[in-house]
């Protein structure tokens, strides 16, 4: 059954919401028994790429040559010999190269960003597990938990966090900032304000927010809403793009 031309997907100059009914799959070079859904890329206005990779059993992919952060959504994905399950992640700097495959299949979200080295400090590769990261309460609000997945170290030029909102919890302000965001809804639902639009959003949706896009979120429903959010970080604004 088609949707008679209707979708929640919306593309605006400073943001877009992409919903799963509009996802298009294509395998970039080096991807076998796997496919990618590219959510954010320079062609759409972002200074980074963010894409979901769907691996069949025996699937392999090649990263784009930039530094890379990979977060497993389901199944299992092996990065440089380490098997990662759901909510586990890996960071690989640009100069290391990443061998990525999935023996039995799985899904992962991948973020790549041209690396801005500061004072010659090169970040080291690492892996982690979101479930073991201690949360902080945003602005002291216990209903809004932030988990920081990239170490607080100026060697890293971007941040990736998860944010978990209890039903009814909301960002304390409409944020407007120079950093851009890539956001994947992992769980639950709510309303996202982006510039002068209010969108109902739910698990599986992707949002790109450009620099200075006004943004606010409030969680709705009876279960927590959770998203994975990228932002450029730790660099002088003259060096963002």
Binding site residues, ligand UGY, CB under 6 A: 163, 171, 175, 181, 215, 217, 229, 231
Phi and psi at residue 107, to the nearest 5°: -130, 140
Query: Which of 78/211 has CB closer to ligand UGY?
Result: 211
In contact, 225 and 166? CB cutoff 8 Å: no
Report what 79 binds from ligand UGY, Mn ion, none; CB cut-off 5-8 Å by kind. Answer: none
In contact, 182 and 50? CB cutoff 8 Å: yes
Dihedral sign, CA of 228, 37, 155, 212?
negative
Report what 230 binds from Mn ion, ligand UGY, none; CB cut-off 5-8 Å by kind. Answer: none
Query: Which of 12/62 has CB closer to ligand UGY?
Result: 12
Binding site for Mn ion (CB under 5 A): 175
In which region does residue 4 sit, left (phi positive, over 0), alpha (psi from -120 to 50) or beta (all else)?
Answer: left
Query: Which of 75/190 has CB closer to Mn ion?
Result: 190
Report what 226 binds from ligand UGY, Mn ion, none; CB cut-off 5-8 Å by kind. Answer: none
Query: Which of 15/107 has CB closer to Mn ion?
Result: 15
User: Cβ 157 to ligand UGY, closest distance in Å?
Assistant: 15
- Assigned token pair, 164: 């978990």
Query: Which of 71/217 has CB closer to Mn ion?
Result: 217
User: Cβ 153 to Mn ion, closest distance in Å?
Assistant: 20
User: Cβ 227 to ligand UGY, closest distance in Å?
Assistant: 7
Beta strand pairing call for 189-194 and 77-79: unpaired
Report what 18 binds from Mn ion, ligand UGY, none; CB cut-off 5-8 Å by kind. Answer: none
Query: Which of 51/192 has CB closer to ligand UGY?
Result: 192
Burial 44-75 (b: 16+ CB within 10 A, else e): ebbbbbbbbbbbeeebebebbeebbbbbbbeb
Report what 163 binds from ligand UGY, Mn ion, none; CB cut-off 5-8 Å by kind. Answer: ligand UGY
User: Cβ 174 to ligand UGY, closest distance in Å?
Assistant: 10
Find where tokens 């604004």 sit. Answer: 237
Report what 229 binds from ligand UGY, Mn ion, none; CB cut-off 5-8 Å by kind. Answer: ligand UGY
Dihedral sign, CA of 40, 45, 46, 47?
positive
Cα 146 to Cα 164: distance, rounded to the nearest angstrom: 7
């Amino acid at each position: 059954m088609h949707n008679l031309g209707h979708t929640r997907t919306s593309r605006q100059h400073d943001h877009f919401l992409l919903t799963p009914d509009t996802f298009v799959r294509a395998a970039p070079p080096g991807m076998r028994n796997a496919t990618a859904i590219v959510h954010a890329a320079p062609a759409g206005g972002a200074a980074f790429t963010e894409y979901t990779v769907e691996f069949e059993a025996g699937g392999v992919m090649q990263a784009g040559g930039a530094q890379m952060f990979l977060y497993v959504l389901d199944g299992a994905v092996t990065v440089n010999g380490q098997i990662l399950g759901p909510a586990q992640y890996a960071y690989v700097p640009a100069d290391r190269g990443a061998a990525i495959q999935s023996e039995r299949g799985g899904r992962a979200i991948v973020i790549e960003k041209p690396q801005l080295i500061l004072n010659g400090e090169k970040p080291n590769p690492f892996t982690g597990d979101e479930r073991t990261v201690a949360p902080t309460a945003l602005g002291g609000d216990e209903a809004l938990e932030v988990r920081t997945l990239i170490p607080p170290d100026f060697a890293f030029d971007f941040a990736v966090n998860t944010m978990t909102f209890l039903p009814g919890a909301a960002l304390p302000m409409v944020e407007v900032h120079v950093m851009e965001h890539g956001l994947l809804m992992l769980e639950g639902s709510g309303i996202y304000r982006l510039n002068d639009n209010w969108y109902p959003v739910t698990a599986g949706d992707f949002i790109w927010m450009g620099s200075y896009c006004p943004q606010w979120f409030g969680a709705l429903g009876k279960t927590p809403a959770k998203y994975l959010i990228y932002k450029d970080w730790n660099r002088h604004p003259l060096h963002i793009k």
